Amino acid sequence: MSGEKQVQIIMVSAAFQGHLNPKLNFAKRLVLKGARVTLISTDEARDGLIKSNALTRLNSDPNIQLEFFSDGLSLDFDRSKDAKSFMGTLETEGAKNLSNLITLLSRDRKYSCMIVTAFLPWASEIAVAHSIPCAMLFFQASALYSIYYSFANKMFSPNFENPDETVEIPGLPEFQVRDLPTFILPSCPRYHSKLVWDTFRFLVNMKWVLGVSVYEFEEDIVNSMASLAPILPIGPVVSPFLLGEKESDDLKVDLWNAEDSCLEWLDKKLPSSVIYVAFGSLLVLSQKEMDNIAMALKNSNRAFLWVIRPTKNGGQLPSGFLEETEGRGQVVSWCPQEKVLAHPAVACFVSHCGWNSTLEELVAGVPVIGRPNWSDQPTNAKLVADIFKNGVKMRLEEDGIVSREEVERCITEVMEGPKADYMKKRALELKATAKKALADGGSSDRNINQFLSEIVQQFTST
């Protein structure tokens, strides 16, 4: 893009750490290619960044500008408790405020593209109203894009009453109903399933659909969508640190304070000796499941690092557990996950299989034990076990929790079972593939160049 007028891109993100960081990581890629990015989120995000002392650091790059708008609710409104009201107000009052902000920003520059997400598909209407070409950044695996598209277009109609029923979707292996994302299940709250329908209802406004996965990870899936609704993989959208590139700690959103002491603890452990356990920021374990996992870790006689978010209604560690595992166990409330996954002491990752975490473990080359819960997690766990083949998926009991015996079985299988060496080898192959995709001339690098080239062509022709 040298010699061209600098391309101006707007990114619109929800105020979730798991949304902001992928957008920010993609923004860094675009800046390296010569673009300038305005990242827009809600006042809730600004409030969290101020409280975590991150806002000033994030403003350090002159080519990435942060802007905020009101979602129509006060900052003390509990959005997680009343998600239905929050999402409805965001789409009405928030949309007006976002449009007004873009009008104000457009006085100083002409934007060449606006990138929205599947969680804010209605924002594409604002792009159309402002005559800004629109792209969607799809935050989940390309497999999810294919499943949602196929379901929205009635290309399959499963019997949701039978979790063992086989579902056939082009480009995907044999799936069962239990492997489908929860957002298409009848039991899903309507305001969640609405996101799926709206994503494809507003697809007509999208000139590009960009995927945060890697083409080589899901080649058959991406190819199967080419004649239907093409998706252009530009991932892995992870921190440059995981890719072995120079990382600026100033350009990362962290709404919680990570406990870096766990890295010093890992430094004292042998290579490939530690089980890392983290279920993200939303999954709340019952007391029974907390007890089961704790007992399995204790019985493993292996070192472990366990991230447990403080909750009001979740399970607590069993009495005496910390004392009984002292020296080989470390429990923290939050950690710098990318640095933990990249640490040579980590042998495997017991994960909820959220897509951000899945991408991070793929790039880090760490085998996985999946304990999915909701949204895209059941599908991601299926991908890990049957497509990526770098891990295993836990089997849940009828009450929806995992037993002690199942946790122990999975730990043994990944750490020392007959397929353990293959899973570790496979994880390292995927790591190399991910790095190659974003290197000069790699599949994602080419796709990013294509995306920017088409923006420039469209911008210069208007």
The torsion angle over the Cα atoms of residues 320, 324, 326 and 331, rounded to 10 degrees, is: -50
- Identify the H or E element spanning 116: strand 113-117
Domains of the chain by start residue, with CATH = 8-247+437-461 (3.40.50.2000), 261-433 (3.40.50.2000)
Tens digit of pLDDT for each residue in 232-289?
999 999 988 898 886 554 455 555 566 788 999 999 999 999 999 999 877 889 999 9
- Helix (H) or strand (E) holding 321, with range, is helix 321-324
Helix extents (H) in 355-394: 355-364, 377-383
pLDDT tens digit at each of 462 positions of the chain: 444 568 999 999 998 888 888 999 999 999 999 999 999 999 999 988 887 777 777 777 889 999 999 999 999 999 888 888 999 999 999 999 999 999 999 998 999 999 999 879 899 999 999 999 999 999 999 999 999 999 999 998 889 999 999 998 888 888 899 999 999 999 998 888 888 899 999 999 999 999 999 999 999 999 999 999 999 999 999 988 898 886 554 455 555 566 788 999 999 999 999 999 999 877 889 999 999 999 999 999 999 999 998 877 778 999 999 999 999 999 999 999 999 999 999 999 999 999 999 999 999 999 999 999 999 999 999 999 999 999 999 999 988 899 999 999 999 999 999 999 999 999 999 999 999 999 999 999 999 999 999 999 876 665
Distance CA 317, CA 140 (A): 32
User: Which burial class, exposed, middle or buried, applies to 246 when counting CB atoms under 10 A from its CB (0-12, 13-18, 19+)?
Assistant: exposed
Angle at the Cα of 118 from the Cα atoms of 112 and 124, rounded to 5 degrees: 40
Measured from the Cβ of residue 312, the count of other Cβ atoms closer than 10 Å reads: 5
pTM over 0.75: yes
Q: What is the pLDDT of residues 322-379, one digit of tens each?
A: 999 999 999 999 999 999 999 999 999 999 999 999 999 999 999 999 999 999 999 9
